[in-house]
């Protein structure tokens, strides 16, 4: 048996009719940027997240970059980001010419540790970016309290957390802004790149809307130097068709995670993901922790199981950030996690047999 890391072919079948008809209509009209489908998706996604505004963009990376710009982060400012994340969390900070300041991870949730944030706040800190890693919210209350106390903005990186809840709140809705990616493998994935900023703040929404569209106030009137970062109409068609299924697909992921946990319970050398009691986990990524990870991943590949590592190098040790002069040992938890985490196949339409095969392969290895 082969078990791919992800397979969205069945998911496509469940929305095919609406997607195909919608794309055909866009092609026939020949209007491909923003448009009524995009506006409808912004409205639906804002409602789903329980916020006032949603601004469709071309990627999650741009969502982070433009959210930081929209809250007024400037060159030379500092922005606190977790080291245990995808590098894009820090890239938006760097695009501005601001400085990413890294913080360590919590051992249980793998998310940014509020205690570590406390240690690196300075007078130059303008924002914190908690990441809802793998599909489980960061520990938001202490982060929001710290931000309030110091007058710092909170920009949530919800690129892996579509639909996840923290104390009943959707991730992305708790800070000044929330940033989403619609990269195809995400919980809500487009058929290409896409992203979104959500916010309750009118000022921030107005800024972000102009930034994504050349700083435009009218067709050929430009208030400041903006960017070209808009959500394509065909991607909005796909996302409109998929959004009503998001909760159902997240629940399918949650069921698969429970089945994995049942089959892997007590297996020596494997630690299952921990879910904190005040939030849920939507398992955009199902990351276990293993000893001898290289051996395990090679063994899984030999048995036809797709497995990946998210992420093998913590961002403070990436060559791209060598100039910041971080060194091994600076963030012990993030460094240990990056040696142990192993992402197993996870997608809503996977079968019981596929999960059983992955677990059998893991046990044999
Ligand atoms: C945590 C995190 N932040 C940011 C991004 C960037 O999103 P995108 O690939 O849409 O630019 C991703 C996804 O790739 C991500 O997983």
Burial 215-251, CB ≥16 within 10 A → b, else e: ebeeeeeeeeebbebbbbbbbbbbbbbbbeebeebbe
Integer Cα distance of 264 and 3 in angstroms:
17
- The whole-number pLDDT of residue 165 equals 98
Backbone torsion region of residue 255, taken as left when φ is above 0, otherwise alpha when ψ lies between -120 and 50, otherwise beta:
alpha
What is the pLDDT at residue 335? 98
Please tell me the distance between residue 79's alpha carbon and the centre of ligand 1 in angstroms.
Answer: 17
User: What fold does the segment set 245-364 form as a domain?
Assistant: 3.90.1150
Give CATH 3.90.1150.10 domain extents, the chain. Answer: 245-364
**CATH top-level class of 9-243:** alpha beta
Cβ atoms within 10 A of the Cβ of 202, count? Answer: 10
The residue written with tokens 């999650």 in the block is 60
CA distance 303 to 298: 9
What is the predicted pLDDT for the residue at 313?
98
Amino acid 225: pLDDT: 97
pLDDT digits (tens, 9 = 90+) for 49-90: 999 999 999 999 999 999 999 999 999 999 999 999 999 999
* Substitution candidate for ligand 1 out of 88, 157, 284 with most atoms within 8 A of CB: 88
60, 135, 177, 314: residue to mutate for ligand 1 pocket, most atoms within 8 A of CB: 60
Which residues surround ligand 1 with Cβ inside 6 Å? Answer: 59-61, 85-86, 88-89, 131, 157, 159-160, 181, 183, 193, 195
Question: What is the structure's pLDDT at 256?
Answer: 98
Instruction: Write the CA distances from 7 to 175, 201, 348, 360, integer angstroms.
Output: 33, 37, 9, 20
Q: What pLDDT sits at residue 157?
A: 98
Using only the alpha carbons of the chain, give its radius of gyration. Answer: 20
Rounded Cα–Cα distance for residues 279 and 166 (Å): 4
Residues forming CATH 3.40.640.10 domain(s) in the chain:
9-243
Q: What is the pLDDT of residue 251?
A: 98
CA 129 to ligand 1 center in whole angstroms: 13
- Give the per-residue pLDDT at 90: 98
Q: Which residues of the chain have pLDDT under 50?
A: none
Distance 265 CA to ligand 1 centre (A): 31
- Write down the pLDDT at residue 340: 98
pLDDT at 192: 97
Of 170, 130, 134, 162, nearest in space to 272 by CA: 134
CA of 124 to the centre of ligand 1 (A): 26
């Amino acid at each position: 048996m082969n078990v791919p890391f992800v397979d969205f072919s069945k998911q496509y079948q469940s929305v095919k009719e609406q997607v195909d008809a919608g794309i055909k209509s866009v092609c026939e009209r020949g209007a491909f940027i923003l448009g009524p489908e995009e506006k409808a998706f912004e409205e639906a996604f804002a409602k789903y997240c329980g916020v006032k505004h949603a601004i469709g963009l071309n990627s999650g990376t741009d969502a982070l970059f433009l959210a930081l710009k929209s809250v007024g982060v400037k060159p030379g400012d500092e922005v606190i980001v977790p080291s245990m994340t995808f590098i894009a969390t820090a890239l938006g900070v760097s695009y501005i010419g601001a400085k990413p300041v890294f913080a360590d991870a919590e051992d249980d949730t793998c998310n940014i540790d509020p205690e570590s944030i406390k240690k690196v706040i300075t007078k130059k800190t303008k924002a914190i970016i908690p990441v809802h890693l793998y599909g489980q919210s960061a520990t938001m209350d202490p982060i929001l309290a710290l931000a309030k106390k110091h007058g710092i903005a909170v920009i949530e990186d919800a690129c892996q957390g579509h639909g996840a809840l923290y104390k009943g709140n959707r991730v992305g809705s708790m800070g000044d802004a929330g940033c989403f990616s619609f990269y195809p493998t995400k919980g809500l994935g487009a058929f290409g790149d896409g992203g979104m900023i959500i916010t309750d703040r009118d000022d921030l929404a107005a800024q972000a809307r102009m930034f994504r569209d050349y700083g435009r106030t009218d067709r050929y009137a430009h208030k400041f130097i903006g960017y070209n970062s808009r959500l394509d109409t065909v991607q909005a068609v796909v996302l409109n068709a998929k959004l009503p299924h998001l909760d159902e697909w997240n629940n399918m992921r949650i069921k698969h995670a429970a089945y994995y946990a049942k089959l892997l319970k007590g297996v020596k050398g494997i630690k299952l993901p921990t879910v904190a009691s005040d939030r849920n986990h939507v398992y955009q990524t199902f990351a276990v922790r293993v000893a001898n990870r290289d051996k395990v991943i090679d063994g899984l590949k030999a048995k036809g199981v797709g497995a990946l590592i998210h992420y093998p190098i913590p961002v403070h040790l990436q060559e791209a950030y060598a100039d910041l002069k971080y060194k091994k040992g600076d963030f012990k938890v993030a460094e240990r996690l990056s040696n142990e985490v192993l992402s197993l196949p996870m997608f809503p339409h996977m079968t019981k047999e596929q999960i059983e095969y992955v677990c059998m392969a893991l046990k044999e290895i």
